[in-house]
Chain A
Amino acid sequence: MTKSFYGTVLSSPLMLGTAQYPSPDILRDAVKAAQPGVVTVSLRRESAGERAGQAFWDLIQKLDVPVLPNTAGCHTVKEAVTTAHMAREVFGTDWIKLEVIGELDTLQPDVFGLVEAARVLTEDGFKVFPYTTEDLVVAERLLAVGCEVLMPWGAPIGSGKGLNNVFGLRAMRAHFPEVPLVVDAGIGVPSHAAQALELGYDAVLINTAVAKAGDPAVMAEAFRCAVQAGALARKADPMEERDMAVPSTPVVGKAMLA
């Protein structure tokens, strides 16, 4: 079943970050190849002379893909809330990918600050996409303060390690069958993305895996195919794992040659 994100059905379960590409042209090629449902964007200090932000905004508008602004780099509730307000004004959307970072080595979310920031922003009319862990208690708190989407990490941001805690992600899917879930962070190769969709996740958010590939546009296409494969596999209801071998070729009628 295709779930909506705050009432919007995405054209693809692939969410693509726009950072770290070798050039704007390569970013554009990668987005065209990925055909993502949304692209994530951010805010940074602007120089009056360079107007780099305007150039980036022009590029994004030409891509004609919905944007999901983030609060990347924020470490406090106040920072994240202020950044979200600035993003809403600049990007003209009340969607916000909420990051409140709690630890520098792993970029693990500060889940206490996250819940508080989500509460404040939801009351201010934002539609919050919280970057969280697979902790079910935190997830319950996020839903209780008004979040309608959860974005647990697969692994630390930029690590490319894939789905570190498949059991935890599976438990989250089972515990919240109606909530749109997105694996955000840590995906390194298309098979990780396919695995997330096979687990029943509704989308994946990828940036570094595409931007830092040798050929970002080709990798973007690979991820586009992977999420399609994963979603189809989920729809097809995969077989259950077994501990012991079971012959796939029928044994009945086999010639007795021994």
Chain B
Amino acid sequence: MQIVVNDEVHEVSAKTLAALIDELGYSGARIATAMDGSFVPVPSRGNTLLRDGARIEIVAPMQGG
């Protein structure tokens, strides 16, 4: 299945958002996620099913003004 993560296309085997995070190497990272423009909180990642072409955003703390 092809998933777009932070504007980059990935071919993945994960079925859920939680599995995707592990598969892409984000395990244990301090991150927040959104799918197709909607926030997905940590407790919901395990039951958030991916679909082909889904757009995932993975963000982390960064400098800000």
User: Taking beta carbons and an 8 Å cutoff, which residues of A are in contact with B?
Assistant: 17-21, 27, 40-49, 51-54, 56-57, 60, 69-70, 72, 78-79, 82, 85-87, 89-91, 157, 205, 207-208
Q: Report the contact-size class of chain B (Cβ under 8 Å from the partner).
A: 20 to 34
With A46-B26, A48-B25, A82-B39 known as contacts, the answer to whether A19 contacts B32 (CB < 8 A) is no
Report B-chain residues with C-beta under 8 Å of the C-beta of A49: 25
Q: How far does the alpha carbon of A87 sit from the alpha carbon of B63 in the complex, in Å?
A: 13
A43 to B6, CA, bound (A): 13
Complex alpha-carbon distance, A207 and B63, angstroms: 10
Q: Mark B20-43, 1 if CB is under 8 A from A, else 0.
A: 000011100111111001110110
Q: In whole angstroms, what is the CA distance A51 to B7 when docked?
A: 17
Which residues of B lie under 8 Å from residue A19 when comparing CB positions? 63-65
CB distance A89 to B41 under 8 Å? yes
In B7-65, the 8 Å CB interface with A consists of: 7, 24-26, 29-34, 37-39, 41-42, 57-65
Which of B6, B25, B31, B42 is packed against the most chain A CB atoms within 10 Å? B31
A86 to B58, CA, bound (A): 10
- Which chain B residues have a beta carbon within 8 Å of chain A's beta carbons? 6-7, 24-26, 29-34, 37-39, 41-42, 57-65
Q: How far is the CA of A19 from the CA of B61 in the complex (A)?
A: 12
In the complex, given contacts A57-B60, A85-B32, A89-B42, what are 7 additional A-B residue pairs having Cβ atoms less than 8 angstroms apart?
Answer: A17-B64, A44-B62, A48-B25, A54-B61, A56-B60, A85-B39, A207-B65
A41, B64: Cβ atoms closer than 8 Å? yes
User: Which residue of chain B has its CB nearest to the CB of A206?
Assistant: B65
| Minimum CB–CB distance for A94 against chain B, Å | 14
Are A46 and B58 within 8 A (Cβ)?
Answer: yes
Please give the distance in Å from B1's CB to the nearest CB on chain A. 18
Across the interface, do B61 and A41 meet the contact criterion of CB distance under 8 Å? yes
Distance between B61 CB and nearest chain A CB, rounded to angstroms: 4
Contacts of A85 in B (CB 8 A): 32, 39, 41
Q: Are A40 and B64 in contact (CB under 8 A)?
A: yes
A208 and chain B: residue at smallest CB distance: B65
Contacts of A79 in B (CB 8 A): 37
Give the complex CA separation of A54 and B30 in angstroms.
Answer: 6
Contact B63 A43 (CB under 8 A): no
**Beyond A85-B39, A86-B39, is A46–B59 a contact (Cβ under 8 Å)?**
yes
Q: Which residue from chain B places its CB closest to the CB of A53 in the assembled complex? A: B60
B29–A43 contact, CB under 8 A? no
Tell me the bound Cα distance from A56 to B30 in angstroms.
11
Chain B residues closer than 8 Å to A43, beta-carbon distance? 32, 59-62, 64
Give Cα distance in the complex from A57 to B62, angstroms.
8
Q: A69 — nearest CB in chain B belongs to which residue?
A: B64
